[in-house]
Amino acid sequence: MIPFNKPFLTGKETLYIEQAVRSGKISGDGLFTEKCHQFFENRYGFKKCLLTTSCTDALEMAAILLNITEGDEVIMPSYTFVSTANAFVLRGAKIIFCDSGKESPHIDVNNIESLITEKTKVIVPVHYAGMACNMDVIMDLATKYNLFVVEDAAQSVDAFYKGKPLGSIGHLAAFSFHETKNVMAGEGGMLVINDDKFLKRAEIIREKGTNRSALFRGEIDHYGWVDIGSSFLPSEITAAFLYAQLENLDQIQITRIRIWCRYLLELKPLEAKGYFQLPHIPEGASNNGHIFHILTNNLKERDGLIAHLKSKDIQSVFHYLSLHQSPFYSSVYDGLPLPKSDHYSETLLRLPLYYGLTEHEQNKVIAAIFEYYDIVNETKNVSYLVKNQ
């Protein structure tokens, strides 16, 4: 079986984990946590980074930092993972879902302004597949209406918008190091703070609402409970694993982007025949090789392709179901239909893409896709002949 994803080990993960254990500091905010923080802050110019146990936790921290309360409205795409919305729902917010764009699953920036009301507090753009949303428009709207922007950059390590690293543009940003991401720690995430006014409080929220981090730096002689918060720190074992990955980020990126580009090149003939749509890189966005997806013409064709690939021992997977259609939120959703979001839910299919995917395996995936559309074309021709006999 060629899996959709296979976690890549650089070779130093267990070595660094052993070092962390031998150091006697296995809980959070030890040597390897600091190494990870410095890596992101130095490489991408993030003002402050805080590792978390997941991207979900980073988003939940953002919602607490922004003082989201009952009745606040938060604008985000419906085509996203549940954590994007859940983090704000937990604080009592009303989610205002925006449709996706015509060419990509990203939030349609042309629709955002019409959704802003006096209750709107936050815009959450989701950089799908590590490709940037139109952050110029989003930040202009945030300035115009005095709103906060939280970048959901879960898939966006080493991705850029007009030369700026994703995660560095909004007031806050959340990253994921889940095992499906370009660099991973099994589970893990990171909150990026780009606005000075959130720096001190973010540490407190992350430390169960205490000012213990200030104690460890020698700034105070005792610590106490000073705010709400939770236990958002990952262990040093998680950080050690992640740091081994970060040391190999450049090689990981080169390999993933090469695989991504080969899919694009080899599958163009099928797109030219109208069988499906290949990924569109938005203007100003880079490609970090996180996801390679195709958009089939309809749900039936996608299901057929998934089944065909499975028969060839190839795992392919669809992605999000529109959140406004979800069992949890559909009963309270009172917005307009979101046809583009639903379209992506029914037609988007992700192909295997991971560091260890060999050329032979990728050849097999590509050949199987060509074979499926040969079968589809032959079936259509037979149906046409039978119909016209």
**Residues 102-122 pLDDT 10s:** 999 999 999 999 999 999 999
Beta strands 148-152 and 120-123, pairing class: parallel
Per residue in 318-347, pLDDT (tens digit) is 999 999 999 999 988 988 999 999 999 999
Q: Which residue has the higher pLDDT, 249 or 217?
A: 249
**What three-state secondary structure class fits 102?**
coil
Q: What angle do CA 182, 254, 50 make, to 5 degrees?
A: 35
Residue 387 has pLDDT above 70, yes or no: no
189 with 51: CB under 8 angstroms? yes
Domain residue spans of the chain: 13-246, 249-387
pLDDT of residue 213: 81
Confidence (pLDDT) at 223: 87
Q: Which residue has the tokens 């919305």?
A: 85
Copy the structure tokens of residue 73: 């409205």
Rounded CA-CA distance 33/101 in Å is 37
Q: What is the pLDDT of residue 245?
A: 98
pLDDT of residue 384: 43
Average pLDDT over the chain, rounded to an integer? 95
Average pLDDT over residues 353-363: 98
Is-contact 232 248, C-beta < 8 A? no
Q: What's the pLDDT band for 221 if we cut at 50, 70, 90?
A: confident
Are 88 and 68 in contact, with CB atoms under 8 Å apart?
Answer: yes
Nearest to 75 by CA among 143, 131, 130, 125: 125
DSSP assignment letter at 29: S
Q: List, for residues 78-88, the tens digit of each pLDDT value.
A: 999 999 999 99
d(CA 302, CA 319): 12
For residue 121, the 8-state DSSP code is E
Inter-CA distances, 279 with 48, 134, 234, Å: 32, 16, 34
Q: What's the confidence (pLDDT) of residue 276? A: 97
| pLDDT tens-digit series, residues 254-289 | 999 999 999 999 999 999 999 999 999 999 999 999
Question: Is residue 173 within 8 Å of 127, Cβ to Cβ?
Answer: no
Predicted structure pTM score: 0.94
Min mean pLDDT across 25-39, 254-268, 274-288, 369-383 is at 369-383
Sign of torsion, CA 140 141 147 149?
A: negative
Q: What is the DSSP letter of 208?
A: T
- The mean pLDDT of 85-95, rounded to a whole number, is 97
The share of the chain scoring above pLDDT 70, in percent, equals: 97
Please provide the DSSP assignment of 48-104 as one string.
EEEEES-HHHHHHHHHHHTT--TT-EEEEESSS-HHHHHHHHTTTPEEEEEPBPSSS
Tell me: pLDDT of 217 over 80. Answer: no
User: Distance of alpha carbon 227 from its chain centroid, rounded?
Assistant: 29
Tokens of 89: 């729902």
Q: What are the tens digits of pLDDT across the range 169-200?
A: 999 999 999 999 999 999 999 999 999 999 99
Examine the pLDDT at 126 and tell me if it is beyond 90.
Answer: yes
Mean pLDDT in residue range 36-50: 98
Residue 386 has pLDDT above 50, yes or no: no
Let me know: does 95 contact 68? Beta carbons within 8 Å: no
Structure tokens given for 344: 């992506």
Write down the pLDDT at residue 388: 53
pLDDT higher than 80, residue 311:
yes
Q: What class has domain 13-246?
A: alpha beta
Task: Kindly tell me if the per-residue pLDDT of 309 is higher than 50.
Answer: yes
Identical fold, 13-246 and 249-387: no
pLDDT of residue 214: 79
Hey, CA dihedral for 198, 203, 209, 210, is it positive or negative? negative
Residues of the chain with pLDDT > 90: what percent? Answer: 91
- How many degrees, rounded to 5, is the angle at CA 319 between CA 317 and CA 320? 155
Q: Name the class of domain 249-387.
A: alpha beta
What are the tens digits of pLDDT across the range 44-62? 999 999 999 999 999 999 9
**Whole-angstrom Cα distance, residue 199 to residue 187?**
24
Neighbours of 380 (CB within 10 A): 10
What is the band of 385 on the pLDDT scale with cuts at 50, 70, 90? very low
